Amino acid sequence: MQRLIDAFFNSVRAFRKLAVSEKAFQQELMLLALALPLGWFVSISWRGYALLIGAVLLLIMVEVLNTGIEAACDAFSREFNVDIQLAKDCGSLAVLISVVIVAGVWGIAIIERITGLPI
């Protein structure tokens, strides 16, 4: 049980650090704050609402992992290194893919709401 408690406090520490210092994380938290009420009006079911919010949470999770990759790479070396560049670029690509997923999920939900037809 102590491991779970320690993990919780580690997570809170990371959340605070990212919320204060990482612009992308701050923007995604704002997106989540907007998505929570907006998703209620866009979705046509509880399942749809969960999918809309889950997509935004997925984006935040990928951003957190990307930030972790960047921090680990920077701790190793700040000098240019092809392998470090690839690791950082792959993290960035993962964030981009998750942005596309969010846009697709929300786009489909908005089309469903406007047309009244489930896609």
pLDDT per residue over 42-52, tens digit each?
Answer: 999 999 999 99
Is 63 among the catalytic positions? yes
Among residues 18, 52, 63, 109, which one is catalytic? Answer: 63
Q: Is 54 exposed, middle or buried (0-12, 13-18, 19+ CB in 10 A)?
A: middle
Whether residue 24 is annotated as binding a ligand: the answer is yes
The domain 28-115 is placed in CATH, from the list 3.30.470.10, 3.40.50.10740, 3.40.50.720, 1.10.287.3610, at 1.10.287.3610
Asked whether residue 88 is marked as a ligand-binding residue, the answer is: yes
Does 112 carry a binding-site annotation?
A: no
Q: Which residues, at least 6 apart from 92, have a Cβ–Cβ distance to it below 8 Å?
A: 66
Q: Rounded to whole angstroms, how far apart are CA atoms 25 and 21? A: 8
Confidence (pTM): 0.92
Domain extents for the chain? 28-115
The 10s digit of each residue's pLDDT in 70-79 is 999 999 998 9
